[in-house]
Amino acid sequence: MNEQSQIGTGKGLHVAIIMDGNGRWAKERGRPRLFGHHAGAKRAREVVEACPDLGVTHITLFAFSTENWKRTQAEVAGLMSLFRRYINKTAHELNDEGACVRFIGDPHERIREDHLRILRYYRFQARFGSALDEAAEDACAELAPTMKGLSRERVAMELLAILALPDPAPTIARMRARGVLPVILPEAGSSQIAALERLIESEARFGMQGDPITRLAALIPAVDGVADNVAARLRLSRRHRDLLGCLARRQPTDSEAAKALAYAEGSECAVGRLILEGHDPRPLDGWDVPDLPLKGGQIVARGLAGPDVSKALREVEARWIAEDFPGRSRVLELLDAVLAERD
């Protein structure tokens, strides 16, 4: 009886694989060690995909040990990069095909190796897990204060990755209940969690893909200065900091003039502010924010000078916006009207 037929007779088999020898395999072929690790990852997926047909319901991959930290910095960095890509892409695909991905090991020990694993646990559990791991949940809650020693950029990266999930609201609520969220985002209270839930409902209703910065805006009070403090603490990029601040200035009346809002604040912010307030942002789909088809020189040619030029330009612009951005011929008519009122 061959090996495959022997495996196929089992029911609910659990196979464990130690992913060893990939680097040596590559060196024997004159290739870099990382080439072997990539080949091993590809073969691991082939094995996982073959398991259901062979009666194997569980497979454990031992991919990295404490001894592996002794390898060269370049090889360790390459392995970590490979793990990230595998988890973020391949594991997602396998999960979509019905596989349940679980990370094993003593949770306290794993977290003490890298405290960022607290946030990664919640991201992976939300994306892959079907049942909660109580031991891991308890360890995350117990060691949550240790995240204060992490670089703020790493914390922001993981928090935004959680917020980019299809529906992060239950995970965010659980993080708050277990005392994890208050360590990194103390501004998020029960009303902010509810705002995030409403935002995700609006995204689904309007067919919009969730944006992590917009979801972050839902998790902080729309109060002057709060967005700036959060952006500084998380060390967000300049673009994300400006966007978060703009979203925090949202008003219930934003939907009354959506295009005017997009003209003043930019389309990205306008869409976010509309959907945060539960309004349909789709009227802005495909609408390019226009430039006022009028220059100061044209006003100077009509006899104005100095501060009067900029004042007239602002008056024309205000009327142009109020009339929903008409074309150049109408703008010239508006200029005529503004100049006539000055006579």
| 85-89, 209-213, 245-249: least confidently modelled range | 85-89
Q: What does the DSSP 8-state code read for residue 253? A: T
For the chain, the structural domain boundaries read 1-101, 296-342
User: Closest Cα to residue 218, out of 165, 154, 172, 178?
Assistant: 172
Is 96 tagged catalytic? no
Question: Token pair of 94, please?
Answer: 């396998």
Burial grade of 192 (CB within 10 A; 0-12, 13-18, 19 or more)? buried
Element (H, E) at 60: strand 56-62
Rounded mean pLDDT of 85-114? 78
Cα 261 to Cα 62, 198, 251, distances in angstroms: 53, 22, 11
The residue with greater pLDDT, 97 or 267, is 267
For residue 172, the cross-strand partners are: none
pLDDT at 4: 40
Statement: residue 187 has pLDDT above 80: yes
Question: Token pair of 219, please?
Answer: 């998790």
Q: What does the DSSP 8-state code read for residue 110? A: H
Is 68 tagged catalytic? yes
Q: Which residue has the tokens 């609006």?
A: 202
pLDDT per residue over 149-184, tens digit each? 999 999 999 999 999 999 999 999 999 999 999 999
Statement: residue 10 has pLDDT above 50: no
Share of the chain above pLDDT 90, in %: 68
Question: Token pair of 249, please?
Answer: 């200035």
Looking at domain 1-101, its CATH architecture is 3-Layer(aba) Sandwich (3.40)
Task: Give me the chain's average pLDDT, please.
Answer: 90
State the catalytic residue, choosing from 53, 68, 224, 228: 68
Spatial contact of 206 and 272, defined as CB atoms under 8 Å apart: no
Q: What does the DSSP 8-state code read for residue 59? A: E
